[in-house]
Structure 1
Amino acid sequence: MKKNYIILIIIGVILITSLIVGFIIINKPSKIELTSEKTLSEHNENKKNEIEIITTSNIEQKTSPNCMFVFKTYYRECEHTLINKIDIPKEFVNQTVEEIEREYLDWKIQSFNVNEVIFYQEKEGICEEHFIVKENNGYITIYFIDKYGVEKIKETTEIVTTYLPEIDKNRLKEGIKINGQEELNACLEDYE
């Protein structure tokens, strides 16, 4: 009985080993196949590059009616970049980069494609996103700082300062410096 079990185990091991070796041999690609696939792949890549070169040299990109103009202005003093996006003006639809460059002489075109044109310029001074929130005649008033550093009234709010705590009144008398519209909105919400 023990002999039968040993013989069955040996036959089972031989059978499993044979199956594994056979599976490996069948699925192993030959060197000829690998070489021909590699050569074919290189050939296809070369053809693709030739087609791309031909395609890009013959087609001139023009703006589409759905194109967006993105204006990026970098301010050197405050180191902020303001971004303004607009739909393409009708007179610039179906124009090339050269045609648009002639119209926007003060701007450098950073990127140009059918759906988006990105313009860029640098300016001295600070951007229009610098505000000071102060008390003026009993109301919270928003001032902006112009390119010369002069405070000018942007808006007088309807928020009355008489009911605010003394700490807030003192801060508003000194002026609270704020950068950006989001920070301005958050500041005003604190006083409402």
Structure 2
Amino acid sequence: MKKLISYKLVMIYLLAIFIGVMVGYLINVKDREQQKTEKNITYEQKITSQQEALAKKLISQSKLIFETKYLENGEIVREVQNLTPSLYGKSKEEIAKIYSSWKVKSFDEEEIVLYREKEGLPADYYIISSINGYVVLLKSDGNGNKEIVEKTDIPLDSLTPFDRERVMENIITKDKDEAYQILANLSS
């Protein structure tokens, strides 16, 4: 009987030691996680309302300019936007990563100019060309594609050699009225 009691006591002691070790281990793991979290915390400097107002003023005055050079006619189209708060404070390299299909042409506090070259013509340009031996009027969509606006009944063979050459090389105009005036002159 004495052996049974001592056996039970040994088991209780071992169980108590096991529980103590596990509790100590869990407390240690929790402390390590808390220390890691404290190391990863970054302390931010408080921004005064005057600094915030100045930053907003700079953002509203700064410009983001997109320049696209269309290779078919060499025209450069500029699109100007206000600099968004998400871009303020970014470095030239960070801007280049964000707009990876553009080249950073210039970079300063007042404006960021991004540049690219693109095939085709700017949007809403009119092209007088020929399809299947007839003069047609096309319109550019700005992405290198052209849609047919009007198929004329003017045969290419009926044009003077000079006009035929111009149509074969494409007559490009920004204005729809000017394009129709050219078509009227070609038909006479």
Bin the TM-score by the shorter chain.
0.3 to 0.5
TM-score when normalising by structure 2? 0.42
TM-score when normalising by structure 1? 0.41
